[in-house]
Amino acid sequence: MRARRALVVALLVSPYVAAPSPAADAAVQLVQVGTASSPVSIAAAPGDTSRLYVAEQRGVIKAIKGGVASTFLDLSQRITAAAQGDYGERGLLGLAFAPDFATSRRFYVYFTARSTNAVTIARYTATSPDTAPDTSFEALLSIPHDQQANHNGGELQFGPDGMLYAGTGDGGSAGDPAGNGPNLTSSTPPVVRSVNHDPRLGKLLRLDVSPPVGYAQPADNPFPAPAQDVWAFGLRNPFRFSFDRGSGDLLIGDVGQNAFEEIDAVPGTGRGLNYGWGRFEGRHTYPAGQAVAAPPADVTFPVIEQTHDDGWCSIIGGYFVRDATVPDLLGRYVYSDYCHNEIHSVAITGGVASGDAAVPGLAPMLSRTTTFGEDAAGRVYVASQDGPIYRIEQVPGTGSPPGAGGPGGTPGPGGPDRQPPSVTLAKSHLQHPARTGRVFTDVTCSERCTVSLRGRLVVDGRTRKGELRGRERTLDAGVKARLVVTVTARGRRAITRALRDGRRVQIRLKVSATDAAGNRRDRVQTVLARR
């Protein structure tokens, strides 16, 4: 996002307040749920439908519950941000909660660091859903960014695979003079044309933050060192992106240079894609600005392009609306812009956009849009740099039938939820099934789901049936639970004999998680047995 004035208003602690009445032809309204000082990120903890968390640019995270706001965490002493009333792109920029926050209490922040100005991703551990101590701070990743103050990126999101995704800017200045957007191979020299030079800038990063300390580079990330953290490249400043909770698809709002703003959308999460910045701005060559009918084979073009000639300046990526209480937007993607201020909705199916139009009656309530957010119930929010935080709601007594998907009953894409839940299994440990009569695994589901656990006994590679008895239970979103299979008396005797004879004994566990829509995900884990 280009340099904009920091917010100066304080967070309200009053009950929800209705925004001005929508226009007569509008069926969707904005309802104010709070106000913040420079709100830049709105997030929720999985499974917690009672709280909304708002990150303020100058380093305070607020928790809003029942219309009352309190300070969740103050990390202002760790960050660099412009003085109040000044323009700036540095500060606290992103916030995301771990899928298992209900039990791990872990959450993640993205900010520019005090003294060094480095782009930083850090982990905190809360003591409760309402409080997190600054002493739990753990820096995970730091990228030098002291040469230029703009294009810091800032978004953090957990993907449907349970990995943490982060969007970084290209290092700043104008026109990517250091060539960071396409760079996957070099970090030397460290500064090029007065811009930090690093293969992690101008990228979408993907990190495995499940280890107890630090993070791991996922084995299926597409690029070798020094770009092993990179998932996709060719981005200028992906200030806001999101994953569709219905399909799991990735949508990126990438801020343009001087002429074009873009929304990138691809089925899935876009592994290894090149979005073209450095060679292209939107669907035009850069810097010449010539329209391109079709992208080169190695570049993915945006599904939406908006022009500065039409009043757009810094696009703000939003969310697919999956809130059934807003039928006029159900199944449509909403987004906005810092200067244009209208909220647009659009149908996107298979990487193709259609029916892009402003939602009537909402523009007068917005001034300098900074971010969208989604709570654990799927309700969508939008924030203005002047401070107000709004929830998008249907005007009572109006609206298409639930599931219609678009204004006036226009069929919406996506339709029903077809995305299976994400399932996390704790690291396997040696177990003693002959002695204890059971085998267990710890399971976390990204949404409320029914989980079944089945197991088979394997001795020297040969499977023995009927020795284990499975279990089934329902888990709430983000709650870690221990599932157990019992070992029959015959099975315990077989394990004892095999181990006594020096044979290799394994228990192969199969976890099947099914959500309310009937989507199922299977995970397999192997446990070694010991005497």
DSSP code per residue over 199-214:
TTTTEEEEEB--SSSS
Identify the residue whose tokens are 């990438």. Answer: 254
The residue among 491, 504, 481 whose CA lies nearest residue 436 is 491
Beta bridge partners of 306: 261
pTM (two decimals): 0.75
Mean local confidence (pLDDT), 266-284:
95
427 burial via Cβ count (<10 Å: 0-12, 13-18, 19+)? exposed
Most confidently modeled range among 128-137, 346-355, 502-511: 128-137
Contacts of residue 288, Cβ cutoff 8 Å, sequence gap at least 6 = none
Lowest mean pLDDT among 11-15, 42-46, 420-424: 11-15
Residue 123 has pLDDT above 70, yes or no: yes
Instruction: Show the tokens assigned to 309.
Output: 């000639």
Q: How far apart are CA 216 and CA 347, in angstroms?
A: 36
Most confidently modeled range among 82-91, 170-179, 452-461: 170-179
Q: How many CA within 13 A on the CB side of residue 496? A: 11
Share of residues in the chain with pLDDT > 90 (%)? 62
pLDDT at residue number 2:
45
Instruction: Show the tokens assigned to 456.
Output: 């088979």
3-class secondary structure, 326: coil
Confidence band of 417 (pLDDT split at 50, 70, 90): low
Confidence band of 1 (pLDDT split at 50, 70, 90): very low
Could you give phi then psi for residue 316, rounded to 5 degrees?
A: -120, 105
Residue 399 has pLDDT above 60, yes or no: yes
Mean local confidence (pLDDT), 312-324:
95
Question: ∠421-423-426 over CA atoms, to 5°?
Answer: 170
pLDDT at residue number 394:
93
Strands of the 315-320 sheet, one edge to the other: 315-320, 333-337, 344-349, 352-358
Confidence band of 287 (pLDDT split at 50, 70, 90): very high
Identify the residue whose tokens are 């009953």. Answer: 409
pLDDT at residue number 228:
98
Could you give phi then psi for residue 153, rounded to 5 degrees?
A: 65, -145
Mean local confidence (pLDDT), 368-387:
94
What's the chain's average pLDDT? 87
DSSP code per residue over 455-483:
EEEEETTEEETTSEE-EEEEE-TT--EEE
pLDDT at residue number 365:
80
Contacts of residue 443, Cβ cutoff 8 Å, sequence gap at least 6 = 423, 424, 425, 426, 451, 453, 475, 480, 481, 482, 483, 511, 513
pLDDT at residue number 139:
98
Interval 17-36: pLDDT, tens: 444 444 445 589 999 999 99
Q: Which long-range contacts (CB under 8 A, 24 or more apart) does 523-527 make?
A: 523/423, 523/425, 525/425, 525/428, 525/441, 526/428, 527/428, 527/429, 527/430, 527/431, 527/439, 527/441
Share of residues in the chain with pLDDT > 70 (%)? 90
Instruction: Give all strands (DSSP E) within 90-215, no chain letters.
Output: 92-97, 106-112, 119-125, 138-143, 156-158, 164-167, 191-192, 195-196, 203-207
Residue 405 has pLDDT above 50, yes or no: no
Beta-strand relationship, 352-358 and 369-374: unpaired
DSSP state, residue 431:
B
Interval 221-259: pLDDT, tens: 999 999 999 999 999 999 999 999 989 999 999 999 999
pLDDT at residue number 84:
63
Confidence band of 8 (pLDDT split at 50, 70, 90): very low
pLDDT at residue number 86:
62
CA distances from 509 to 100, 440, 527 (A): 21, 9, 8
pLDDT at residue number 241:
98
Interval 171-217: pLDDT, tens: 999 999 999 999 999 999 999 999 999 999 999 999 999 999 999 99
